[in-house]
Amino acid sequence: MTAAPTWDIAARRTLHRRGASFELDVAFRSSASRIVLFGPSGAGKTQTLRMISGTADPDRGHIAIGGRALFDSTRSIRLTPQQRNLGYVYQDYALFPHLTVRQNIAFSRVSGWRNPPRDARDDVVERWLATLGLEPVAHAYPEQLSGGQRQRTALARALAAEPVALLLDEPFAALDQRLRARLRDDLVALQATLDLPMLLITHDDDDVAALAQEVVYVEHGRVVAELGQLA
């Protein structure tokens, strides 16, 4: 029996804004562990990530990861973002400014919108603080962190939820070139260690070269090319 592809996406959505419409029609299948959606700004990459995560609904189509259906319009399947259990790292990191690093990471492990206690201990949270080198700033607030520390905090929060796959939206866009290079290497090593499927979107050629096993090129809301087995 042939194994299901890691990523099986065929999703359509019409976006309306200021009297104009944008047709998003993205379809690709891949068994790569690390796949990059690549294309110019405005191509529809972030909207595709939102449909996969469940924070936006396609008008029709299907979305499956590792053979598990997350959305299927023909079978009336629509899992909530919580049911999908996907780690999501936003471009601006979306850290809570009133919570410490430890609390931000722990937030992914509490139900509802209750803030984790400032000094609460959770073995999973402590493991990611140590793994990503955040123990020295565990009690710091986001405004006190460097760009790299904010990025690693957002990544730790996503991973602490023990997701089945990781989604990243331009995770290095706010960082300088030297820090980007180091964090790319760290991310590749971490993904290989965890054996966690990862989908990343970017318009940076260096991200593609460092991170992609397969690339899906997106322009004007559509896949225009697929290139596999880069790494």
- Across the range 54-69, mean pLDDT stands at 96
Q: What is the pLDDT of residue 180?
A: 84
Q: How far apart are CA 106 and CA 96, in angstroms?
A: 11
Residue 68 lies in a domain: no
> Does 99 fall in a domain?
yes
Pick the range with the lowest mean pLDDT from 2-6, 53-57, 223-227: 2-6
User: Does residue 124 lie within any of the structural domains?
Assistant: yes
Of 154, 150, 153, 189, nearest to 34 by C-alpha is 189
What's the full length of the chain, in residues?
231
Q: Of residues 109 and 51, which shows the higher confidence score?
A: 51
Nearest to 199 by CA among 171, 231, 227: 171
Domain of residue 108, CATH code = 3.40.50.300
- What pLDDT is attached to residue 3? 67
pTM (predicted TM-score): 0.90
Print the domain residue range for 180.
33-55+82-213
Q: Is residue 122 part of a domain?
A: yes
Is residue 138 situated within a structural domain?
A: yes
Is 161 contained in some domain? yes
Q: Which is more confident, 83 or 182?
A: 83
Q: How far apart are CA 225 and CA 231, in angstroms?
A: 18
User: Is 226 within a domain?
Assistant: no
pLDDT of residue 231: 47
Find the mean pLDDT for residues 2-30: 89
Q: What was the pLDDT predicted at 35?
A: 95
9 belongs to a structural domain:
no
- Residues near 124 by Cβ (< 8 Å), separated by ≥ 6? 109, 160, 162
Mean pLDDT of 59-70: 97
pLDDT at 229 over 60: no
The whole-number average pLDDT for the span 8-21 is 91
Question: Above pLDDT 90, what percent of the chain?
Answer: 68
Tens of pLDDT along 97-145? 999 999 999 999 887 667 787 877 889 999 999 999 999 999 999 999 9
Give the total number of structural domains in the chain.
1
